[in-house]
Amino acid sequence: MTELAPDEPKFEQVAAILRARIASGEYPPRTRVPSELKLVAEFGINSRTAAKALQALVEAGLTRRVRGMGSFVVPAEGDGAPEQG
């Protein structure tokens, strides 16, 4: 279980970690990032806090969330297939 520093909101810290993983290629375009429950297990946070972290990625334009499916990394512009939605 990853430890989080107390000096910054948890949801922002988790979002920052996920952003770094996306940037590093750990979560390539069109693949899924961890679900709320996975983040709960990994970081020891509440599911609502996990949801807020995932929502922050959406607002940053990095992912899309699809009910019943998960959060998916948004492909960079001009990479081939047209985007849905």
Partner DNA sequence: GGAAATTTGTTCGTATGTATA
Partner DNA sequence: TTATACATACGAACAAATTTC
Quickly tell me which residue has 């988790």 as its tokens. Answer: 14
What whole-number distance in Å separates Cα of residue 69 and Cα of residue 75? 17
CB of 85 to DNA, least distance (A): 11
Instruction: Using the minimum distance from each CB to DNA, give the nearer residue, 65 or 78.
Output: 65
Is residue 49 part of the contact set for DNA (CB under 7 A)?
Answer: yes
Helices (H), 3-83: 10-24, 36-43, 47-59
Check the CA dihedral 14-58-40-32 and report its sign: negative
| Binding test (CB under 7 A) with DNA, winner from 36, 62, 73, 74 | 36
Is residue 60 part of the contact set for DNA (CB under 7 A)?
Answer: no
Kindly list the residues in this chain that would bind DNA in the complex (CB under 7 A).
Answer: 9-12, 35-38, 44-49, 51-52, 54-55, 65-71
